[in-house]
Amino acid sequence: MINQLLQNPMLISGLVAMWFAQFIKVPIWFLVTGKWDWHLMFNPGGMPSSHAALVCGTTISIGMYEGFNTGTFAIAFAITSVVLYDAAGVRRQAGYHAQKINMIFDELLSGHPVSQETLKEVIGHTPRQVIVGAVMGLIVGWIITYLW
């Protein structure tokens, strides 16, 4: 079973695209801030969207490998559409809510010995982050499938 998974170009395309998107967050952060933050490789959110890269890499590979007129591609495309919408929409709004809630706790609890864990604020993506992740996934997925 593991051998079959490792020989699946569609799965490998998506996973490599996702890994590459997560890895590239570190040097992008360094270029923007001048600071290395290796934790970004394991955090959701940020530039580029690894969720977008994963689903787009997998979907383009499915289309190239099995055909763009198949039911499998249609399902992959539909799921990709939902993930992209969610990454830039729902998850982004959840991040805004976390910012506001953290600000309220900071204001209400300043000077009090109450410990409050802050909520993760960068859980979604801007549309630009989703587009870059999607393009990255399409390119990586196409390359891997083409070379496979």
* Three-state secondary structure string covering the chain: CHHHHHCCHHHHHHHHHHHHHHHHHHHHHHHHHCCCCHHHHHCCCCCCCHHHHHHHHHHHHHHHHHCCCCHHHHHHHHHHHHHHHHHHCHHHHHHHHHHHHHHHHHHHHCCCCCCCCCCCCCCCCCHHHHHHHHHHHHHHHHHHHHHC
Please give the average per-residue pLDDT across 98-111, as a whole number. Answer: 72
6 domain residue, yes or no: yes
52 assigned to some structural domain: yes
- Position 99 in a domain: no
Residue 38 covered by a domain: yes
User: Has residue 114 got a pLDDT over 70?
Assistant: no
Percent of the chain whose pLDDT exceeds 90: 44
* Structure tokens belonging to residue 80: 């990709």
Residue 105 covered by a domain: no
10 assigned to some structural domain: yes
- Please give the mean pLDDT across all residues of the chain: 85
**55 is written with which tokens?**
């689903």
Mean of the pLDDT values across residues 34-43?
A: 89
Largest CA distance in the chain: 62
Which of 146, 136, 148 has its CA nearest to residue 20?
A: 136
Is residue 115 predicted with pLDDT exceeding 60? no
Provide the number of structural domains found in the chain: 1
CA dist., res. 97 & res. 38, Å (int): 26
Q: What is the residue range of 40's domain? A: 2-89+124-147
Q: Give the residue from 85, 71, 89, 97 showing the smallest Cα distance to 134.
A: 85
Burial class (CB in 10 A: 0-12, 13-18, 19+), 32: exposed
100 within domain boundaries: no
Q: Is residue 94 part of a domain?
A: no
